[in-house]
Chain A
Amino acid sequence: MAKGKTQKPGQTAEVRAKSREKLRFLAEMEPKKMITYPLVVFIVALLLLAVHFPPLGIDLKGGVVVTGEGISANPDQLEKELSGWLGIEAHVESFTSVSGSKGIRVYAPAGTDPQKIIDILKEKYPNADFTHSDVQPTFGEMAKKQGTRAIIFAFIAMAIVVFLFFRNPVSSLAIIFSALSDMIIAVAVMGIFGIQLTTATIAALLMLIGYTVDSNILLTTKLTKRKEYTIEEAYLSAVSTGFTMSTTTLGALLMLWIISTSPVLDNIAAVLIFGLLADFMNTWIFNAGVLRWYLSRGVEL
């Protein structure tokens, strides 16, 4: 084989080695600190949730949404007008679609007749295109119950599979805790940004379980099943892989978030972004801290 061709992978390895060096500061952290800091963040997230839980979307609490496309209006003014006419507390948001056309979304409490809102809007904007959804509180109640159940069961299923794969309480519990912490932090950040908890965001939280487990399994496998490297070397190689994984996924999600105006896709992307950022901390700092502390005691995993 020609020499020029073998150079490229060599180069690649060099690039990888360089990025690994950049992450070395993580490897030099004290395991104790690596465990405490993420724990503090977890507790802060719990407190945040206690005082400010994310608002429930209409599909979990019931309500009416009317979307009008092709309407360019001042949402605050429209909100006042609609609330006045209908005698309800309406909330109006505006958005711009990918093709550049503007639209509005009107949120109204359950029991409002969506047709009434549409009739009023139609009079003002005869050329707009309307879409609505109307969810009764009973359905919201059911969806909420099912969503909670789905998350709990999915979590338990994940925990069981992780236990089966690693058969060690410390590394399994570290993975399970970091998955839990990812979710709690993601939900807390949703609360901060006012992102609603909907069936779509519940789906995103479920997706998060998959992503979390990916990176944690990678870390645990590399640190515990690989005897030919030192712990530090194994950690560095795992963290650089993890860094590549997270940034790539984050990039793709960011694209999704920027381009779509569908609230479903938008919210899913946003929640996953929060969760992946939390996951980076929980896997590569917390879980790594636990494993390094554990391995430094000379136990075989």
Chain B
Amino acid sequence: MNRKLKKILLNWKVLLLIIFLIGSIGSLYTRGLTFGIDISGGVALIAQTEEPVDSKTMELVVDSLQKRLNTFGLRDISVEGQGNSIVVVKVANVSSTEEANQLKQVIESQGVFFMEFNGVVFGTGKDITYVGPYEIKSDNSWAVPFRISKSAAEKFAELAKGKAGWPVDMFLDPPINSLLVVPQDVFMTMNGTAFNAGAPDAPPLAARIEKALNITTIMYTNQSATELKEMANGRAIVLAGVPRELYDGLKDMNVSVKYIPSEPSADTTSFVKEILGLYGPYSLGEGLANGVPQTDVQITGRASNRVEAEREAKTVYTVLKSGSLPVKLKVISMEFISPKLGQDFKKQALYAGLAALVAVLLIVYFHYRNWKIAIPVASTSLFEVIIILGIAALIKWNLDLPSIAGIIAAIGTGVDQQVVITDELLGGERSTRITRRAGALKRIGRAFFIIFASAATTIAAMSFLLVYFVGTLKGFAVTTIIGVLIGIFVTRPAYAEVAKYLIGEE
């Protein structure tokens, strides 16, 4: 018996299994398992870009989103671009729904940024190459230094020549290409000098945005929805501070329309800023009006107290930072799992796995009435789980629920195939007792034809999933493929060897 045991253990297929097992346990021990958001808790957000983008732009989006979230002091963030329009953001260690919702807002407020002067857009978010830390001086004045691209600097220098004191506007998410309908007082303010930063010669804000962003501002004088639709001429309509009925009327006519209610407490200037996503206007400094392109620029301002200065500087800083997103994102799916609930899932998956293993053991015993078959079958499955987990730990794969489902799938087919091997070995027993080793080999060969055929189909099917699926099912495909590969190359051959010794050759 001892000699036999030694012979089994020294068989290279069994040795391979043992090596894999030891390696997996080592990898599990040293690296540990990492779990997906749906198990460890956290937020998983899937955002879609407003329009499909190329891979370079996607890289930019991912990169700046990562930076932006980092500046918000969040840790354990993973941002991943998938395909041409999907960005998956996962943040671990989020403990409340409020925090989760905040995150969503941060991502969605990742706006499209415009810098405009005298009715001309001279730069967008991608022209901002660097934003420096903001400074606040003792006199409560603040400054945010940033760098713009060479082309933007040249364009700006030309535009701004000799126009010291003129307003520089920055917009985050302005309603471009739209008809803006406002009440009389707002209309007057936008066409007056309130937004001219003290330069009466500069064109008024309404004229600047019309020229730069194709936003036509009109005064509300009881126009009907139909009239407005005609005036918009295919553009979107933005209703700000006008009667709400118009919104419903336009909506019914299938016009793209946005409604911004006026806040009774807010003054007209801040209302205009809210409608347009306007930051500024900032007065153009003398040093920039000489026609010489400068890439290192700064926005300055002064507030009445330090707290206020800090707030203003931080707003500009964040706007500049997040403005480097080339395209707007919309969160289309959001999942928040509280860490406690996730813990419960982990426990359940563990219990369910163990129970399934015991079920396999008992049912296989019931079918063969032989522990010599039941124990190797069940333990092979256990080894398979350990090896899959070991590999997952090694490649730092995040185990989420679909990944666990994939492991279950691999184990399910694994047991099936071990039954095929066992039956092939037993099958010869009845009629061809005389066939010895050659017979066993042939039978095992037949079993492996079946195993390879089904492994090939499973891998083929799963590869499509891996390539074509965006989002959550990737984990499922990955663990299934790992499981099937481990099955055909490591565990099944070893099981066949052991089974051959235990039943085939006796």
Contact = CB atoms under 8 A, between A and B. Distances in A.
Contacts of A282: none
Interface string A251-268: 111111011111011001
Contact of A221 (B101, B357, B449): B449
A18 to B, nearest CB: 10
B405 interface: yes
A131 B336 contact: yes
A261 B349 CA distance: 10
Interface in B432-447: 446
Given A133-B333, A150-B468, A203-B405, A251 B463 contact: no
A138 B332 CA distance: 7
Nearest to A135: B333
Interface stretch (A26-34, A45-53, A189-197, A212-220): A212-220
Interface string A219-255: 0010001100000000001001100110111011111
A74 interface: no
A255 B378 CA distance: 15
4 interchain residue pairs of minimum CB distance: A154-B461, A139-B332, A157-B460, A252-B356
Nearest to A154: B461
B409 to A, nearest CB: 4
A200 B426 CA distance: 38
Interface residues of B, number: 85
A120 interface: no
Interface centre among A17, A97, A217, by most chain B C-beta atoms within 10 angstroms, is: A217
Interface of B is mostly: helix
Contact of A158 (B363, B460, B473): B460
Interface in A109-143: 114-115, 118, 129-136, 138-139, 142-143
Interface residues of A, number: 87
B427 interface: yes
A206 interface: yes
Contact of A244 (B401, B419, B465, B469): B419
A225 to B, nearest CB: 7
Contact of A203 (B331, B412, B473, B506): B473
A15 interface: yes
A9 B454 contact: no
A237 B334 CA distance: 51
Contacts of B355: 255-256, 258-259
A77 interface: no
23 contacts: A9-B370, A15-B370, A59-B333, A97-B348, A115-B101, A133-B335, A135-B332, A135-B333, A139-B46, A139-B333, A142-B470, A150-B468, A157-B463, A160-B460, A161-B457, A203-B406, A207-B412, A211-B416, A214-B454, A237-B423, A245-B415, A248-B360, A252-B356
A270 interface: no
Contacts of B506: 1, 5-6, 8-9
Given A9-B426, A118-B97, A154-B464, A218 B420 contact: yes
A260 B347 CA distance: 9
A287 interface: no
Interface stretch (B137-145, B158-166, B194-202, B337-345): B337-345
Nearest to A155: B461
Interface centre among B98, B341, B363, B413, by most chain A C-beta atoms within 10 angstroms, is: B341
A149 B412 contact: no
Contacts of A143: 471
Contacts of A16: 367-368, 423, 426
A155 B456 CA distance: 13
A210 interface: yes
Contact of A241 (B404, B423, B468): B423
Given A69-B341, A98-B348, A252-B415, A161 B453 contact: yes
A153 interface: yes
A69 B342 CA distance: 11
Contact of A165 (B359, B411, B456): B456
B472 interface: yes
B403 to A, nearest CB: 10
Interface in B115-170: none
Interface string B253-290: 00000000000000000000000000000000000000
A67 interface: yes
Interface of A is mostly: helix
Interface of B: 38, 46, 48, 86, 97-98, 100-101, 330-338, 340-341, 344-345, 347-349, 351-352, 355-360, 362-364, 367-370, 372-373, 401-402, 404-406, 408-409, 411-413, 415-417, 419-420, 423, 426-427, 429-430, 446, 449-450, 453-454, 456-458, 460-465, 468-473, 476, 480, 503, 506
Nearest to A122: B97
Contacts of B461: 154-155, 157-158, 206, 209-210
Contacts of B402: 199-200, 203, 264
Contacts of B38: 264
A211 B412 contact: yes
Contacts of B358: 255
Given A9-B372, A135-B332, A214-B416, 19 more contacts: A16-B426, A129-B340, A131-B336, A131-B338, A132-B336, A133-B333, A134-B334, A143-B471, A203-B406, A206-B462, A207-B409, A209-B457, A211-B416, A213-B453, A244-B423, A248-B360, A252-B412, A260-B352, A265-B404
B44 to A, nearest CB: 8
A278 interface: no
Given A115-B98, A149-B468, A264 B401 contact: yes
B348 A162 contact: no
A296 interface: no
A244 B364 contact: yes
Given A139-B332, A255-B356, A245 B462 contact: no
A19 interface: yes
Contacts of B101: 115
A139 B385 CA distance: 33
A210 B430 contact: no
A10 B351 CA distance: 35
B461 to A, nearest CB: 4
Contacts of B464: 150, 153-154, 157
Contact of A199 (B86, B427, B473): B473
Given A98-B344, A136-B333, A210 B413 contact: yes
A155 B423 CA distance: 29
A226 B428 CA distance: 12
Contacts of A213: 453-454, 457-458
Contact of B368 (A15, A129, A165): A15
Contacts of B340: 69, 129
A292 B438 CA distance: 30
A247 B360 CA distance: 9
A138 B329 CA distance: 13
Contact of B405 (A17, A69, A130, A264): A264
Contacts of B430: 13, 17
